[in-house]
Amino acid sequence: MGHRRIAAHLQPHKPDTESQLAKELQFCQHKANCLQFNRYHNLSLNLQTTTRWTDNMKLYIKNMVCSRCKMVVKAQLENMGLHPLSVQLGEVEIEGELSKEKLLQLDTTLKALGFELIDNKKSKTIEKIKNAIVTLVHHSDPDIKTNLSSFITSQIHLDYNYLSNLFSEVEGTTIEKYFISQRIEKVKELLVYDELTLSEIAAKLGYSSVAYLSNQFKKVTGFTPSYFKSLKEYKRKNIEEL
């Protein structure tokens, strides 16, 4: 009788074992569901992030060469119900993608103001070169003795020989000549303001000497700086016309 009690005591309790196994399976299933939820949740977040990142559109605009240009373009974009995130010389980033109809409408509006959307790679690169030079001459610190080729490549991140050849091919002139024309226009501007001497203008724009500035000025304009300054009607050009 005692042996039977001992044997009965040693036998496993099946209901408890099955209950424990069921609990473990339930826990494993819950854990698997959590992992699956996390995977889908993370994937959803990644897709949302990617959508937000790629939901912006970058536009390249010709003839944006001054702060006032930026203000005018930004105002027009906002008038059309668009949301500009950044407005730089020749380049605008807006929130969302534009339909072909909206792009056509924007291009028509910009053309009426003297601007123009650029839609091919070569033209975009040319405009970037021009804007880099305009920034260097007209919107940078007074001392612009930096090397021209180094400055342009630092802004555009392409080989200078490629940029130089492309510019000459499309514009029919060299990057260096375009730079000179912009610098001469800056000299004209400073002469008109009559706040600096010719020596100070030469130093401000990175000329090695007054004589060098005067020779280059006469070669481009046909006048000496002093004669140009004495004219009643100053023959200055718009930057975008150069």
Task: Convert 180-196 into a string of H (helix), E (strand) and C (coil).
Answer: HHHHHHHHHHHHHHCCC
Could you tell me the mean pLDDT of each successive run of 10 residues in the chain, 242 residues long?
48 51 50 44 37 66 87 92 89 88 90 88 91 88 72 93 94 95 94 92 92 96 91 60 56
Backbone angles phi, psi at 89, to 5 degrees: -60, 115
- Domain definitions of the chain by residue range: 13-53, 55-119, 120-242
Buried b (16+ CB within 10 A) or exposed e, 182-191: bbbbbbbebb
Q: CA gyration radius for the chain? A: 34
Please check whether residue 209 is in contact with residue 202, taking contact to mean a CB–CB distance below 8 angstroms: yes
Asked: is 55-119 a CATH 3.30.70.100 domain? The reply is yes
Rounded to the nearest 5 degrees, what angle is found at the Cα of 43, between the Cα atoms of 41 and 49? 105
Phi-psi region at 121: left, alpha or beta (left = phi > 0; alpha = psi -120 to 50) = alpha
Looking at CATH, the fold of the domain delimited by 120-242 is given as Arc Repressor Mutant, subunit A (1.10.10)
Picking from 238, 240, 239, 216, the residue whose alpha carbon sits closest to that of residue 228 is: 216
What pLDDT, on the 0 to 100 scale, is given for residue 232?
56
